[in-house]
Amino acid sequence: MDLTLKIWRQPDASQKGRFVDYQVQNISADASFLEMLDILNERLVIEGEDPVAFDHDCREGICGACSLYINGRPHGPDKGITTCQMHMRRFKDGETIVIEPWRARPFPVIKDLMVDRTAFDEIIRAGGYVSINTGGVPDANAIPIPKRDADTAMDAASCIGCGACVAACKNASAMLFVSAKVSQFAVLPQGKVEARERVQNMVAKMDELGFGNCTNTYACEAECPKEISVSHIARMNREFLSSKVVSEKTK
């Protein structure tokens, strides 16, 4: 396959970026998208040019580091996958592929296609954990949990924090990410003790960092590589409102 790549090049967050065109030839249809970028970078290094900076780690769809905006969609045109799981057979010979970083103020560009997602870490530090002493590891059946609740928690816990939800949202909202982290604990006994403080602190930190509001376009769910449901946003809203009511009553 011969392709034209329009890649966003930007030295850092303080400088302006621009699209640069690159030609790649003889790309195997079985190569992954990141392998194609590796081939381009090998050529750029040989030619004495600065290689394109992009994030990657496990390349197995687990870590979410490979976050690229491809042809107007987070992680590319396929559904339910990360960028590293997409193969070049998804594109046509001679096609032009536009590759950009996430576009959100809370995710400043580090270089080229890499963005700083420390904002997500700060939200987790605000409350995305259980800090109470839950004792030793209990037997599997020691704390009865309805299967529906266990499945809901596991669905929420599958969030890899890649930021595709933010990149897909016209408001750069992080509601799907935050709600997944809230739901992960909200339906389990171990998480209920700190539920009220958790949701208030995480939502407050999300707003403080400059993420936008949710306007229910469902773009986040459509582009999430783990296909996390927006129903978690509804749960988080209920958790938040009820926690506010209780907090006001206990003042």
215 and 123, same domain (yes or no): yes
Here the tokens at position 117 are 């997602």
The residue out of 110, 137, 171 marking a domain boundary is 110
Task: Please name the residue ranges forming H helices in the chain.
Answer: 33-46, 118-127, 147-157, 164-168, 175-186, 189-192, 195-208, 219-223, 231-249
Going by pLDDT thresholds of 50, 70 and 90, the confidence category of residue 48 is very high
Interatomic CA distance for residues 58 and 76, integer angstroms: 18
CB-count exposure of residue 202 (10 Å: 0-12, 13-18, 19+): buried
3-state secondary structure of 135: coil
The residue out of 95, 110, 125 marking a domain boundary is 110
pTM over 0.85: yes
- Return phi, psi of residue 55, to 5°: -85, 145
pLDDT tens track for 139-167: 656 778 899 999 999 999 999 999 999 99
The residue out of 78, 110, 142 marking a domain boundary is 110
| Closest CA relative to residue 79, chosen from 61, 94, 104 | 61
CB hemisphere CA count around 112 (13 angstroms): 14
pLDDT tens track for 93-142: 999 999 999 999 999 999 999 999 999 999 999 999 988 776 776 665 67
- Mean pLDDT of all residues belonging to the chain: 94
Structural domain that includes position 137: 117-249
215 and 94, same domain (yes or no): no
Handedness of CA 246, 149, 136, 63 (dihedral sign): negative
| Closest CA relative to residue 151, chosen from 205, 127, 117, 187 | 187
pLDDT tens track for 195-230: 999 999 999 999 999 999 999 999 999 999 999 999
